[in-house]
Amino acid sequence: DVAEQLPPVLPEGPREESLQLVSELKDSSCSCAVDVSTVWWEAAGCRELRVVTASESAVSLWEPLAPDCWGKVYTWHLREIPVIQMIPLPDTCNLVCVALGELEIGEIRLLLYSSETDSSKHSLVKTGNIKAVVGLKDQRLVSSSRTMQEQQVEMVSLSETGGSKDRQALMPPEETVTAFAEVEGMREALVGTTAGNSVVVWNLKTGQLLRKMHVGYSYPASICHRAYSDSGLLFVVLSHPLAKESESCGSPAFRVVAFNPHTGRSAGVMFSCLPPGCAGRQGDVWDTAGAAVLTSGAVAVWDLLRGRCAAVLHPGPAGHWALARWAAGGAGLLAG
Amino acid sequence: CSESDLGPISLNWFEELSAEAPP
């Protein structure tokens, strides 16, 4: 509901009341949360949005019991390698995807659970030195992995039972791919950012690398979050985790950059700044809303089309916010 | 963004680049 409730323009600056705490999930296991996500879940003919929380050694599925009240349905225990990230799979039902590893992702696993038989299983989708991964519509997962000699970029089609139906190799660029983003409205297009600050475009059906376009030197290590194709242009939402504050522009949290794939040229469209004096960001984008955790322990939310910080969620009595993710379909903002 | 910044725009860029790019 958060995205729906955001006022269109806030000329006077951020307004805290535009984020409202809807409900709290309290985990009695005392383990530190590393990520949070949502998943569509179908049981007994009823499809609902459930919350998934991850600690280093366990992933828990929560269901809504009553308004503002959530109960833990099931916990998968993953004791060998720590969980470091959850990978949302848009429009996928009854499948939880997690990345495990130490500093880098070493494994991607699918977690399944049946309430009818009270049975669960894991299935291994990918191993290697995985640099970037994204879940796409239609149960597809794209990842880039690297050995000393070469980079592999691969799309895996997942079956409903947690297996891998099909694998399609994508042509790797020379530079390491650091992030992927689906292109809204174009099922067969995928964009990625590289360690050399380029945006690359693939054809997922053929595996072709269609275009490499330079982002510019202004902000190093740009990360793509989302892309939209419109009127022959590709609009890419980038975040800039390493950008320093400047007097003229402040610190960029997100930028929307328009690329012309036909010519490879680009132009900045919108610039979303961190609130003055703030630093640090771990960002997530849904539709045209960006959210990021700041080093102060606050969560900031931006309207990316207007370049406005629309809301700030300050640290609460329980402590500083450490992670923020949009729920599937923009149903809310999850913060941990 | 103006066309002078970005160059000529093609609405069919995805199909055109797919036809030109190495398989």
Q: Is the pLDDT of residue A7 over 90?
A: no
Q: Which residues contact A254 (CB under 8 A, 6 or more apart)?
A: A225, A237, A238, A239, A240, A272, A283, A285, A290, A292, A302, A304
Query: Do B1 and A258 lie within an 8 Å CB cutoff?
Result: yes
Whether A211 and B14 lie within 8 Å, measured CB to CB? no
Q: In this predicted model, what pLDDT tens digit does every residue of A181-209 receive, in sequence order? A: 999 989 999 999 999 999 999 999 999 99
Q: What is the rounded CA–CA span in Å between residue A312 and residue A127?
A: 38
Q: List, in sequence order, every residue forming a beta bridge with A272; answer none if it has no partner.
A: A254
Tell me the HSE value of A225 on the side-chain side, using a 13 A CA sphere.
24
A210·B14 Cβ contact <8 A: yes
What's the rounded Cα separation, in Å, for the pair A251 and A260?
26
Closest residue to B9, CB basis, from A186, A206, A260: A260
Q: How far apart are CA B3 and CA A269, in angstroms?
A: 14
How far apart (Å, rounded) are the C-alpha atoms in residues A200 and A174? 11
The distance of B10 to chain A (nearest Cα, Å) reads 5
* Higher-confidence position of A318 and A81: A81
- Give B2 to chain A, closest Cα distance, Å: 9
- Using CA of residue A326, residue A327, residue A332, residue A333, what is the dihedral sign? negative
Q: Say if residues A292 and A282 touch (Cβ distance below 8 Å).
A: yes
What letter would DSSP give residue A244?
A: P
Residue that the structure tokens 């000393």 belong to = A148
List Cβ neighbours of A34 (8 Å cut-off, separation of 6 or more): A54, A55, A56, A82, A83, A84, A85, A323
A283-317, pLDDT tens digit by residue?
Answer: 899 989 999 999 999 999 999 989 989 999 999 88
Best mutation site among A168, A204, A263 for testing chain B: the one with the most B CBs within 10 Å?
Answer: A263
| Predicted confidence (pLDDT) per residue in A269-281, tens digit | 998 998 888 887 7
